[in-house]
Amino acid sequence: MNAPAVNVPAPKAAPAPRGNRTRSGPSFDLSVWAAQRRHAVESALARWVACPDTRPAPAGLGEAMRYAVLDGGKRLRPLLVLAACEAVDGSQEAALRAACALELIHAYSLVHDDMPCMDNDVLRRGKPTVHVRFGQAQALLAGDALQALAFELLTPDDASVSPGTQALMCRMLAQAAGFRGMAGGQAIDLASVGKPLTSAQLHEMHRLKTGALLQVSVLMGAACGNPGRAAQLALSDYGAAIGLAFQVVDDVLDVVADSGTLGKTAGKDAAQDKPTFVSLMGLRDSQNYAQELLSQALASLRADGLQNTAALRALADMLVNRGF
């Protein structure tokens, strides 16, 4: 498997000075930065995910996989990988592979989550969900194949990524996706419907269900370089804070936004009697909590050893004050 051409221009803005308390620096344009990087990710995914010309999958499986992955999604996890990689001046080739692998894991989890035996959702990103479009059996297989493909992307059979980095990336992703990460959080979620959760239990559920994959996006980006211990810990803290903030904001949006804006069915959590931050602490306190987590994330980026944190800062801000 040859790597698609990696063509990610360096950000135009100068690195934000360390300790700068403004959120993303005055001259950093996140929309330009993100558009360039999303383009690189989309191109790579289009070539790597069961490309009909070069790597076709049999019997409709490729179509279902590509439908689940391409032409949709904010690519938040890939952007976090690429931003963290820039903060440690890491390998762009390794980062692009990690970015795509994370998006595949995210996509497979959505496909399986949407199935009738789980959330039974028929709309995702404004389109029919995979099982509605291709049938449940094909959706199940497509999700399974996307998970396997994530690990295939992380282990190219060439010298573009060192074996040590390949192995480390696989370990990090497997742990974040597995029973003590995303899958474990989903199991707590399943068991929690209609039950009151304590604040600690709700935090644990989201730390695993969505937080683990967001945090590991940052850490896999960092693993593309050789950050010192302080920088690594800082990025881990940043990832944990934004991972939690993401879910808090999601719960808020489920209450205040409509389905058209969300691209999925709004108000579902309340309808399904699922515990959320809003149901636990109220709307106003949830909004304040998200802002507090944003402050924590930004503060952690002041650590020694981080170089260009402008994108990480802007992404955290965008994630909490969703302009996308």
| Cβ distance to a copy of itself smaller for residue 168 or 253 | 168
Is 136 one of the binding residues for a copy of itself (CB under 8 A)? yes
Residue from 184, 225, 227, 239 that binds a copy of itself (CB under 8 A)?
184
Show Cβ contacts of residue 54 under 8 Å, excluding neighbours closer than 6 positions: 47
Number of alpha helices (DSSP H) and beta strands (DSSP E) in the chain: 16, 2
Is 190 one of the binding residues for a copy of itself (CB under 8 A)? yes
Show Cβ contacts of residue 273 under 8 Å, excluding neighbours closer than 6 positions: 193, 194
Is 229 one of the binding residues for a copy of itself (CB under 8 A)? no
Is 155 one of the binding residues for a copy of itself (CB under 8 A)? yes
In 3D, which of 141, 133, 50, 143 has the Cα closest to residue 104?
Answer: 143
Residue from 46, 122, 132, 168 that binds a copy of itself (CB under 8 A)?
168
SS3 124: strand
Stretch that binds a copy of itself, among 134-142, 220-228, 233-241, 250-258 (CB under 8 A): 134-142
CB 316 within 8 A of CB 238: yes
Residue from 30, 57, 244, 320 that binds a copy of itself (CB under 8 A)?
57
Residue from 24, 91, 129, 147 that binds a copy of itself (CB under 8 A)?
147
Stretch that binds a copy of itself, among 36-44, 153-161, 242-250, 303-311 (CB under 8 A): 153-161
Specify which residues 124 forms β-bridges with. 127
Q: Tokens representing 96?
A: 């692009």
Q: CA-CA distance, 45 to 97, in Å (whole number)? A: 9
Query: What backbone torsions phi and psi does residue 127 show, to the nearest 5 degrees?
Result: -120, 160
Show Cβ contacts of residue 245 under 8 Å, excluding neighbours closer than 6 positions: 290, 293, 294, 297, 316, 319, 320
Q: Residue 63 CB, nearest distance to a copy of itself (Å)?
A: 10
Q: CA-CA distance, 210 to 14, in Å (whole number)? A: 32
Q: Tokens representing 181?
A: 């990460």
Residue from 35, 117, 230, 271 that binds a copy of itself (CB under 8 A)?
117
Total residues contacting a copy of itself by CB under 8 A comes to 61
SS3 123: strand
Is 70 one of the binding residues for a copy of itself (CB under 8 A)? no
Site string for a copy of itself, 16-55 (x = CB under 8 A): ----------------------------------x----x
| Cβ distance to a copy of itself smaller for residue 45 or 319 | 45
Q: CA-CA distance, 76 to 87, in Å (whole number)? A: 16
Is 175 one of the binding residues for a copy of itself (CB under 8 A)? yes
Q: CA-CA distance, 207 to 244, in Å (whole number)? A: 6
Is 186 one of the binding residues for a copy of itself (CB under 8 A)? yes
Is 196 one of the binding residues for a copy of itself (CB under 8 A)? no
Binding site for a copy of itself (CB under 8 A): 50, 55, 57-62, 65, 108-109, 112, 115, 117-118, 135-138, 140-141, 143-145, 147-152, 154-157, 162-164, 166-168, 170-171, 173-175, 177-181, 183-188, 190-192, 204, 208
